[in-house]
């Protein structure tokens, strides 16, 4: 390849990397995106809900470019699952029925190639099937390029944007984060894509047509009451179903992820939705639950990091790709400014972080900074309360021929047996702190 | 009112369904690198002394298995590159790299 030089190098063609490349290419920079998969998205998997606001920021006319969305999310909410029951809190509204919608279900192996194509159209060079093996630094430790696994595959640029994903090997090599994520700060999620004819799927989920879709997050028995969630999302003609838990929980309880998922699929409440469906794909992915306080430094000399590699996830609201796109755009704009000033120092690039501090990305992450610790320190939280709610509902909805006042006492007594009054108060206090920041 | 003790059964008492993982793996598309294994055990002696061997359970593609002699076998060909073993091996005894460009899993849906 010889001495290949660009204005900017982006590692990884996921949402963060593509948003960065798109922004820089439109700003007139000569940009290369290096992707290890056979195509953008080949290695990517997520639950399935994509929020459009961040996409509209980088690509205002995205709707005319026909993004490969599955279904708009017109109904969403929570299922609180006990071993034999469920409480459903779902929100459906006519007000979700406008397009482009705020949220769509998405399959990444279809969406990511489309998004990358937009960056290519803007002038970025996308090189696939190429793994970046290390960062290249000068004698003062400044990042000046990357090495790839292609013969003579070194590429040089005054700024490198790392969007490598949750396995943050380069972020570590850059010295932006001191140590690996421990298993307590990363979730392992497994998912299946279950094929179902669109008509059948619509009938089962009460959808009027292809312009309606459901996103359900599931708590409680789906993870055997352990900290984590399950999900059921409707695609055009298939269901994305999965479950994610802190990796440490799989280890502690010696659980096999695919068995946890199979158990969820077999739940009497869930099974009818999947009946006759064909599993077309199985996959697994890590989700960084790094949290605001353990995020890497976002910039160094000649380098910035965005997306999962930087731990940009809001697990509570199952957001990630929108944080990644917003961060990628901010990193791209910072690179443009750096080129204008001819200054690629960590000091100059730190304006990237300041931009994110003023946006929802770091504001939300800061607000929920205690969430992972809360779940970790209250492992009983999901199981105990979800089961309690289901039992309380069973008593409430059943006529026993006993006075209602006694029924109310029964419920309160049941709560007390499971968790002391001070225990409940303490849990609620901790939850409030985790929510309010 | 029935007894509800099963509602709070500890995790260890929950019976898990049997899953034939091969049925799941078979629908995945892989481009196997026959020359280079991207996952290697650094030191078999460490695996031999590792008592719980958590990788046997948490790996979502069941890449790790012990043979009759107790050696840790690595079926890197089935790996979906999640990185769990890289992070969660209690002895950091897994040499985990990204597969060479173009190799490994390629999701069709994702």
d(CA A390, CA A397): 11
Half-sphere exposure of B18 toward its Cβ, with a 13 Å CA cutoff? 1
Q: Does B46 touch chain A (CB under 8 A)?
A: no
Residue A55's CATH number? 3.50.50.60
Between A315 and A8, whose confidence is greater? A8
Contact A36, A134 (CB under 8 A): no
Structure tokens that stand for A336 in this block: 């443009």
Q: Which residues contact A421 (CB under 8 A, 6 or more apart)?
A: none
The per-residue pLDDT for A219 is 94
Tell me how close the Cα of A110 comes to any Cα of chain B, in angstroms. Answer: 7
Average pLDDT over residues A196-212: 97
Is the distance from CB of A380 to CB of A227 less than 8 angstroms?
Answer: no
User: What residue ranges in A29-183 does DSSP mark as E strands?
Assistant: 31-34, 49-51, 75-81, 86-92, 103-105, 125-127, 132-137, 143-148, 155-156, 160-162
Within a domain: A88: no
- Most B CBs within 10 Å, among A86, A166, A256, A385, to test the B interface: A256
- Are residues A124 and A258 both part of a single domain? no
Q: Do A263 and B16 touch (CB under 8 A)?
A: yes
CA distance A198 to A209: 8
Please check whether residue A79 lies inside any domain of the structure.
no
The tokens of A196 are what? Answer: 């179902």
Q: What is the pLDDT of residue A396?
A: 87
pLDDT of residue A331: 98
What mean pLDDT is reported for chain B? 91
The share of chain A scoring above pLDDT 90, in percent, equals 82
Do the domain assignments include residue A80? no
**Confidence class of residue B7 from pLDDT cuts 50, 70 and 90?**
very low
Of residues A402 and A222, more confidently modeled: A222
pLDDT at A404: 86
Mean pLDDT of A338-367: 97
CB atoms near residue A387 (< 10 Å): 24
Closest CA to A10 of A180, A167, A155: A155
Q: What is the CATH number of the domain that holds A255?
A: 3.30.9.10
What is the C-alpha to C-alpha distance for residues A72 and A171, in angstroms, rounded to an integer?
35
Same domain, A37 and A115: yes
Residues of A in contact with B82 (CB under 8 A): 188, 284-286
Among residues A288, A316, A344, the one where a domain terminates is A288
Give the DSSP H/E element, type plus range, for residue B39: strand B39-41
- What is the Cα–Cα distance from A235 to A106, expressed in whole angstroms? 7
Domain count, chain A: 3
Q: Is B24 in contact with A282 (Cβ distance < 8 A)?
A: yes
Cα dihedral sign, A59-A63-A64-A70: positive
Cβ pair B106:A38 closer than 8 A: yes
Beta carbons of A188 and B84 less than 8 Å apart: yes
Q: Interface pTM (ipTM) of the complex?
A: 0.93
What dotted CATH number matches B18-105? 3.30.70.20
Name the more confident of A380 and A135. A135
Instruction: Select from A56, A95, A88 the least CA-distant residue to A74.
Output: A95
Same domain, A329 and A390: no
> Using CA atoms, how far apart are residues A89 and A203, in angstroms rounded to an integer?
20
User: Given this model, what pLDDT does residue A420 score?
Assistant: 81
Least Cα separation, residue B69 to chain A (angstroms): 23
Q: Are residues A43 and A137 in the same domain?
A: yes
Tell me how crowded residue A368 is: count the other CB atoms within 10 A of its CB.
21
In contact, A88 and B87? CB cutoff 8 Å: no
- Give the domain extent around A162: 4-69+106-179+291-367
Q: Please, which pLDDT band fits residue A38 given cuts at 50, 70 and 90? A: very high
Q: Would you list the DSSP string of A311-375?
A: T--BGGGTB-HHHHHHHHHHHHHHHHHHHHHT--SHHHHTHHHHHHHTSHHHHHHHHTTTHHHHH
Q: What percent of chain A has pLDDT over 70?
A: 100
Does B27 reach chain A within 8 Å, measured CB to CB?
Answer: yes
Q: What is the pLDDT of residues A237-291, one digit of tens each?
A: 999 999 999 999 999 999 999 999 999 999 999 999 999 999 999 999 999 999 9
Looking at A253, A288, A323, the residue that finishes a domain is A288
A398 versus A74: the higher-pLDDT residue is A74
**Inter-chain residue contact A169 with B28, CB threshold 8 Å:** no
Q: Does B36 touch chain A (CB under 8 A)?
A: no
Q: How far apart are CA A163 and CA A160, in angstroms?
A: 9
Cis bond upstream, residue A100 (ω within 30): yes
Task: Measure the CA–CA gap between A213 and A207, rounded to whole angstroms.
Answer: 7
Residues 58-87 of B with CB under 8 A from A: 58, 60-62, 80-84, 86-87
Q: CA-CA distance, A407 to A116, in Å (whole number)?
A: 59
Residues of A in contact with B9 (CB under 8 A): 83
In a domain, A338, yes or no: yes
Taking contacts as CB-CB distances below 8 angstroms, the residues of chain B near A234 are none
Q: Given A338, A367, A396, which residue is the final one in a domain?
A: A367
Helix (H) or strand (E) holding A169: helix A169-173
Model pLDDT, residue A401 = 86
- Calculate mean pLDDT across residues A224-247: 96
Give the pLDDT of residue B3.
37
Q: Say whether B85 sits in a helix, a strand or coil.
A: helix
User: What residues of B are in contact with residue A284 (Cβ under 8 Å)?
Assistant: 60-61, 80, 82, 84
Query: A389 in a domain, yes or no?
Result: yes
Least confident of A19-28, A35-44, A215-224, A419-428: A419-428
d(CA A339, CA A20): 14
Domain boundaries, chain B: 18-105
* Residue labelled with tokens 């599993």: A279
pLDDT at A2: 53
Asked if pLDDT for residue B5 goes beyond 50, the answer is no
Lowest mean pLDDT among A6-15, A53-62, A208-217, B10-19: B10-19
Nearest by CB to B27, from A280, A384, A387: name it. A280
Tell me the average pLDDT of chain A.
Answer: 95
Collect all residues with Cβ–Cβ distance below 8 Å to A314 and sequence separation of at least 6.
A320, A323, A364, A365, A368
Looking at the structure, do residues A152 and A296 belong to the same domain, yes or no? yes
For residue range A399-433, list pLDDT tens digits in order: 878 888 888 888 888 888 888 878 888 888 888 88
Q: What is the pLDDT of residues A147-165, one digit of tens each?
A: 999 999 999 999 999 999 9
Look at residue A39 and give its three-state secondary structure.
coil
Q: Give Cβ neighbours of residue A406 (< 8 Å, ≥ 6 apart).
A: none
Question: Which pLDDT does position A205 carry in this prediction?
Answer: 98
Give φ, ψ of A217 to 5 degrees: -105, 135
**Taking CB atoms and an 8 Å limit, are A247 and B84 in contact across chains?**
yes
Which of B5, B9, B107 would you mutate first to test chain A, the one with the most A CBs within 10 A? Answer: B107
Q: What is the pLDDT of residue A143?
A: 98
Instruction: Name the pLDDT band for A201 (thresholds 50, 70, 90).
Output: very high
Is the same domain home to A245 and A350?
A: no
Residues A116, A233 within the same domain: no
Q: How confident is the model at residue B9 (pLDDT cuts 50, 70, 90)?
A: low
Taking the Cβ of residue A368 and every Cβ of chain B, the question of whether any pair is shorter than 8 Å is answered with no
Pure H helices in chain B:
21-25, 44-49, 55-58, 84-88
* B32 in reach of chain A (CB within 8 A): no
- Both A361 and A378 in one domain: the answer is no
Is the predicted pLDDT of residue A192 greater than 80, yes or no?
Answer: yes
State the nearest Cα–Cα gap between B28 and chain A, in angstroms: 6
Q: Which residue of B has its CA nearest to A165?
A: B82
Same domain, A116 and A174: yes
Residue A222 lies in a domain: yes
Cβ distance of B110 and A112 shorter than 8 Å: yes
The confidence score (pLDDT) of residue A400 equals 79
> Are A251 and B19 a contacting pair at CB < 8 A?
no
- Check pLDDT > 80 for residue B10: no
Q: List CB contacts of B20: < 8 A, sequence separation 6 or more.
A: none
pLDDT score, position B98: 98
C-alpha span between A256 and B57 (Å, rounded): 5
> Chain A residues with CB inside 8 Å of B32's CB?
none
On whether both A189 and A233 belong to a single domain, the answer is yes
Closest Cα in chain B, distance from residue A57 (Å): 24
* A residues 235-294 closer than 8 Å to B (CB): 238, 247-248, 250-251, 253-260, 262-263, 266, 279-286
What does the buried/exposed string (b/e) look like for A186-203 if buried means 16 or more CB atoms within 10 Å of the residue's CB?
Answer: bbbbbbbbbbbebeebbe
């Amino acid at each position: 390849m010889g001495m290949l030089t660009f204005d900017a190098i982006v590692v990884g063609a996921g949402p963060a990397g593509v948003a960065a490349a798109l922004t820089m290419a439109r700003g007139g920079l000569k940009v290369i995106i290096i992707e290890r998969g056979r195509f953008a998205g080949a290695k990517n998997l997520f639950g399935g809900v994509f929020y459009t606001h961040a996409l509209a920021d980088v690509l205002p006319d995205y709707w005319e470019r026909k993004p490969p969305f599955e279904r708009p999310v017109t109904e969403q909410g929570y299922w609180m699952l006990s071993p034999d029951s469920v409480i459903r809190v779902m929100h459906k509204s006519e007000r979700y029925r406008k397009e482009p919608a705020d949220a769509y279900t998405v399959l990444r192996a279809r969406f990511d190639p489309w998004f990358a194509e937009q960056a290519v159209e803007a002038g970025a060079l996308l090189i696939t099937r190429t793994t970046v093996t290390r960062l290249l630094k000068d004698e003062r430790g400044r990042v000046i390029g990357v090495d790839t696994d292609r013969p003579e595959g070194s590429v040089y640029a005054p700024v490198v944007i790392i969007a490598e994903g949750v396995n943050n090997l380069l972020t570590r090599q850059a010295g932006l984060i001191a140590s690996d994520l421990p298993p307590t700060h990363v979730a392992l999620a497994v998912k299946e894509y279950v094929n179902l004819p669109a008509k059948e799927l619509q009938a089962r989920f009460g959808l009027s047509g292809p312009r309606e879709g459901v996103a359900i997050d599931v708590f409680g028995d789906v993870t055997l009451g352990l900290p984590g969630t399950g999900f059921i999302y409707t695609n055009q003609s298939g269901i994305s179903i999965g479950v994610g838990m802190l990796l440490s929980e799989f280890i502690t309880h010696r659980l096999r992820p695919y068995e946890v998922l199979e158990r969820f699929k077999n739940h009497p409440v869930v099974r009818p939705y999947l009946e006759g469906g064909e599993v077309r794909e199985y996959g697994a992915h890590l989700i960084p639950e790094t949290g605001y306080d353990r995020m890497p430094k976002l910039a160094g000399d000649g380098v910035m990091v965005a997306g999962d590699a930087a731990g940009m996830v809001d697990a509570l609201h199952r957001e990630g790709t929108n944080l990644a796109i917003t961060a990628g755009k901010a990193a791209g704009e910072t690179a443009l400014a750096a080129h204008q000033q001819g200054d690629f120092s960590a000091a100059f690039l730190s304006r990237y972080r300041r931009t994110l501090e003023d946006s929802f990305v770091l504001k939300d992450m800061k607000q929920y900074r205690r969430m992972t610790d809360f779940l970790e320190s209250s492992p009983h939280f999901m199981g105990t309360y979800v089961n309690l709610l289901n039992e309380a509902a069973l008593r409430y909805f059943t006529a026993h021929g006993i006075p209602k006042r006694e029924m109310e006492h029964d419920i309160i007594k049941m709560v007390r047996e499971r968790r002391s009054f001070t225990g409940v108060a303490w849990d609620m206090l901790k939850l409030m702190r985790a929510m309010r920041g | 009112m029935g007894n509800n003790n099963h509602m709070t059964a500890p995790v260890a008492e929950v019976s898990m369904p049997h899953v034939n993982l091969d049925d799941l793996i078979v629908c995945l598309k892989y481009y196997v690198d026959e020359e280079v294994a991207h996952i290697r055990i650094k030191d078999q002696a460490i695996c031999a002394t590792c008592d719980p061997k958590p990788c046997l359970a948490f790996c979502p593609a069941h890449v790790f298995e012990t043979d009759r002699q107790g050696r840790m076998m690595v079926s890197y060909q089935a790996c979906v590159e999640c990185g769990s073993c890289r992070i969660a091996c209690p002895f950091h005894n897994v040499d985990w790299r990204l597969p060479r460009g173009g190799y490994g899993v390629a999701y069709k849906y994702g």
